[in-house]
Amino acid sequence: MTPDPILSPAPTPTRSKEITMTRPLTRPALLRWSALSVAALTLSACGGAAAGSAETADLAAVTDDDLEGLTITVGDFFGDCVDAVGDETDPTVGTTECETMRILNNKFNAENPWGITVNREAGSEWSVYYDAVNSAFAADTAPDILFMHAANIPDYAGRGLLLPLDDSLEAAGIDTADLTEPALAGVTDGQGAVHGVPHDLHGNLVHLNMDLLAEAGLVTAEGEAVLPTSPEELVEHAEQFEQATGRQYIAWANDFNIPFRMFWTLVAQQGETVISDEGEATVDTEAGREALGVIADLYSRGIAQPEQTYDSSQQAWLNGEVGMLVNGTWVVNEYSRSASFDYRALDFPTLYDQPGVWANSHTWVVPAQEDADPARYRAALEYAAFMLENNEAWALNTGHLSPLTSVLESDFYQQADQRAGYATTAEFASLVPQVDGWQGAEDALARALETVWLTGASVEDALAAAQSQVASQLD
């Protein structure tokens, strides 16, 4: 999600236009961490002991003979499509996250020089994934390598559950210099410790119906979309669009945390943050009041509709009833295949002084194991390194942004469908800093913000409540 995360779609709703899709386009509701899940982490027996052993593991000393024939386990949340993929090892034939991940797994097993075998376990769908991960940590049965959102890393690393990777990345040939600044920052804590290997960046984009924008006079003579450059211009464009077309200018999902992500984005574009690098809440600020005021104004004018869900907003856009849909990177390929109009995916418009947009990152983390076997750690990192080496396939097949500058700037990537329109999102993506307790803080912040359009709370009251609740969660 992501984002998030993230990728267990529900059945596709009936559409008024017949469009063939390779998979449904819906996304599940945001995962809410339960008290039981947090308790499972707190009570985990492997926390302190494993962390101490992990920090002393010398991965550079692992030899080829040590790696020969090892079998390790991996956990991810992209679903099961083994029957569809079979033994395929060519990632270019993948069309979804699940297919691409399974194919890359096959490719690693078939091609790595040590004969390492990686078997998948620890949950199949993102909606139950973290519960399964937490249970595995509590039982000391965590897989050798796990997929994890960057924003979730501190809640595990802070308990000593993850291997610090600072001194190990080079041993696996991972070049951090090629990582974009946001991607590397997203896995680096305040003390400079790295606990994850970025796999992608995913963030908000605008998905445009260029036919409707042209009808509204919001396309240049060269065929480029005219996007707003200020909150005032956003309202002007919306009014112009609605008068010309009789349709909705902009839509987003109110049940998928998009309003929170919009708030984060507008604060970032003012050069401010919702949470400091030190983990302090900075919600109730001038920038926060400006950002929430803009969102509230869009609702009050009827430009944004609070009753729209992920499904309904997406369906309205696909049916040609909306000019601009706010959604993430993960739908780009499906929209390209499914849209019956001239479709364009672009960076989220910059409405303030600098570009910025909410984002998160899928990463690979290595759980600290009780036996602290350096060879198994090294095998896990070799798998993560392989995924980076094949990252272009993931980025092209899924819509997510590569964390690698070399991929983003390559001619092949820039010339691929839609990518030139939003590749720069990877440069100004605004990720949550590595601080403990963010998931609960995000949930609290989202609930506080939505009181403005759901219950009529004032911007000032909503932000004051958000400041207090976020600070409490972070404490």
Which tens digits make up the pLDDT trace of 111-131?
A: 999 999 999 875 557 678 888
Adjacent-strand bridge partners of 207: 325, 345
Q: Is the pLDDT of residue 31 over 80?
A: no
Q: How many CB atoms lie within 10 A of CB 414?
A: 12
Inter-residue contact 198 to 363 (CB < 8 Å): yes
CA distance 391 to 366: 19
User: Region 330-342: what's the mean pLDDT?
Assistant: 96
Q: Check for a shared fold between 35-201+361-423 and 203-360+435-474.
A: yes
Closest C-alpha among 291, 252, 231 to residue 466: 291
Query: When comparing pLDDT for 398 and 58, which is higher?
Result: 398
DSSP state of 144: S
Inter-axis angle of helices 438-454 and 258-268, to 10 degrees?
A: 100
| pLDDT of the residue at 400 | 96
Q: Give the pLDDT confidence score for residue 91 in this predicted structure.
A: 94
**pLDDT reported for residue 21:** 37
Query: According to the model, what pLDDT value does residue 124 have?
Result: 59
What's residue 82's pLDDT? 84
Residue ranges per domain, the chain? 35-201+361-423, 203-360+435-474
To the nearest 10°, report the CA torsion of 333, 328, 225, 416.
-30
336-339 contact pairs (CB < 8 A, 24+): 336/417, 336/418, 337/21, 337/22, 338/19, 338/20, 338/21, 338/25, 339/19, 339/209
Tens of pLDDT along 140-156?
999 999 999 999 999 99
Average pLDDT estimate for 65-89: 93
Query: Per residue in 227-281, pLDDT tens?
Result: 999 999 999 999 999 999 999 999 999 999 999 999 999 999 999 999 998 889 9
Among the ranges given (109-123, 223-237, 280-294, 312-326), the one the predictor scored with the smallest mean pLDDT: 109-123
Give φ, ψ of 381 to 5 degrees: -70, -30
Q: What is the pLDDT of residue 123?
A: 55
The two most distant CA atoms of the chain are separated, in Å, by 71
The number of residues making up the chain comes to 475
Give the pLDDT mean for 447-471: 97
Provide the CATH number for the domain formed by 35-201+361-423 in this structure.
3.40.190.10
Greater model confidence, 437 or 32: 437
* Confidence band for 475, pLDDT divided at 50, 70 and 90: confident
Distance CA 219, CA 87 (A): 46
Question: Residue 301: is its pLDDT beyond 50?
Answer: yes
Residue 206: its pLDDT value, please? 98
Contact assessment for residue 436 and residue 475, using Cβ atoms and an 8 Å cutoff = no
Q: How much of the chain exceeds pLDDT 70, in percent? A: 87
Q: Is 70 exceeded by the pLDDT of residue 6? A: no
User: Does CATH number 3.40.190.10 belong to domain 203-360+435-474?
Assistant: yes
Which segment, 21-25, 74-78, 94-98, 178-182, is predicted with the most confidence on average? 178-182
41 falls in which pLDDT band (50, 70, 90)? very low
Share of the chain above pLDDT 90, in %: 77
Residue 307: exposed, middle, or buried by beta-carbon count in 10 A (0-12, 13-18, 19+)?
exposed
Is the sign of the CA dihedral 213, 215, 218, 222 positive or negative? positive
pLDDT at 277: 87
Residues pairing with 147 in the sheet: 364
**Chain center to CA of 429:** 11
**300 or 83: which leads in pLDDT:** 300
CB proximity list for 335: less than 8 A, separation 6 or greater: 25, 207, 318, 343, 345
Mean of the per-residue pLDDT values of the chain: 88
Return the C-alpha torsion angle 89, 93, 98, 102, nearest 10: 0
* Closest-CA residue to 441 (of 200, 215, 264, 306): 264
Phi and psi based region of residue 318 (left: phi greater than 0; alpha: psi -120 to 50; beta: remaining): alpha
**Which residue shows structure tokens 């349709």?**
247
